[in-house]
Each structure stands twice: as C-alpha cells, then as structure tokens.
Amino acid sequence: MEHGGLSPMATLAIPVIESIAVRVLSALGVGLTAGAAIEEMRKRNEEAEKAKDSPLAHTDAQTKTEKEKCKECPPDRGKAVARSWSMSESSQAYQARITGFPPGTEWNFAGLDFDGFRSSQCLLQEAKGKYDQFFDEDGVPKEWWASNSGGENGLIRQAGTQYAVALPRPPVRLSWYFMEPKSYSHFTSLFSVQYPGLETVFEP
C-alpha cells in the first residue's frame, strides 16, 4: 500500500530521512521526535540561508577577498642602495623622475639592481633615457652599437636577468620606461617576443 500517494521507494525513504534527522539533531544536543526533528532541521536550514545574505556575512567575504589580494610581494625583501654609475645628468634626472628615488639610489633585489621599486604595485622599474642616439632615422640600431656587447645586446641581457628574478608573475611586475620613441618601439618589439611579461612604457 502506498503512503500518501507516494511510490513504494519514497515510502521506504521517509523513515530513513526521519532517522537521519533525529541522529543529526541528537548529535547537536537536541532531543525531538522524528517529525519534529525534520521540521527543526528545515528551520535551521532557512536560518543558515538568511545568515549568508546578512551584511556581516558579506563583510566577512569581502575581508577574505581583500586578504587574498594582498599577496606577498617578494621585492619587498630587497633594499635601497647607493650607486654611482657613470651616466649623463639627463639620464640620472630621468631615472629619478620615473622612480621617485633620490639620484644615485636604486633597489637591490635577488642580487640585481633595479632603478626603482613601488611596493604598493609590486612594481620593479628600469628607466632608459636618451637612447635614440643609437638608432638611425628609420629606427634601426646603428651597426656599431648593435654589435657592441655593452650596447643593444647589453640591454637585452640586462632585461633577461631582471625578468628571470621578477617572480612570481603576478604579483611581481617589471616595467622598462623609455624617454624616446625609437628606442621604445624597438625594445617593445624585442621584449614582447623574448620576455612577454615585461612591460614597456613610453614616458618622455
């Protein structure tokens, strides 16, 4: 005989569900009959759903998300160092303007020097001033500079070593800033292939 119009399988399932409800609430220290136990569980489920939509629940979720965003930034473990590289006054001034560091100050991280570092953005910086003098009118590197180990190849190596330690990406970022358009265009093309995570910025 069917129970309340239910199938035989459903009829058998009802006592099982009631038994589970009683055991669950018993474990919570609540002693109820089978029917009352199911009703009590239904009420508790409704209260739990309401709690999810409460302002406090949303605040907790937002706090968790903000904490996840505040990931550790490895370059924070670096330090400011004083350097006296040989460079023109204009290049030194450009570096200071881009990074906000005092002239002659750089950021050493993982054994390498970077022109600057912005902790709030987990951003390592390198500034390149007047480099268009090494390109012809068509934007092609002059042969003597391109073949010089300290010229074009030197910058490519420098970018490669910096790129290798600017990890993990994200949150770590590495940006090279160029004062002039030819050098910016040339190295943007090179880096996009060799170091795809390295950002280039044209900042006159």
What are the structure tokens assigned to 131, written together?
A: 């480099």
What is the model's pTM? 0.67
Please report the pLDDT score of residue 71 as a whole number. Answer: 77
Measured between alpha carbons, how far is 67 from 61 in angstroms, rounded to an integer? 10
pLDDT, position 10: 46
Helix axes 152-165, 181-194, angle to 10 degrees: 50
Q: In terms of Cα–Cα distance, which of 56, 73, 54 is closest to 64? A: 56
C-alpha–C-alpha distance, residues 17 and 169, integer Å: 50
Nearest to 36 by CA among 17, 23, 20, 21: 21
Instruction: Give the pair of three-digit tokens for residue 55.
Output: 């302002």
Q: What is the pLDDT along the chain (204 residues), one digit of tens a residue?
A: 444 555 544 444 444 444 444 444 444 455 556 566 556 656 766 775 665 565 555 545 554 444 444 579 999 999 999 998 888 999 999 999 999 999 999 999 999 999 999 999 999 999 999 999 999 999 999 999 999 888 999 999 999 999 999 999 999 999 999 999 999 999 999 999 999 999 999 999
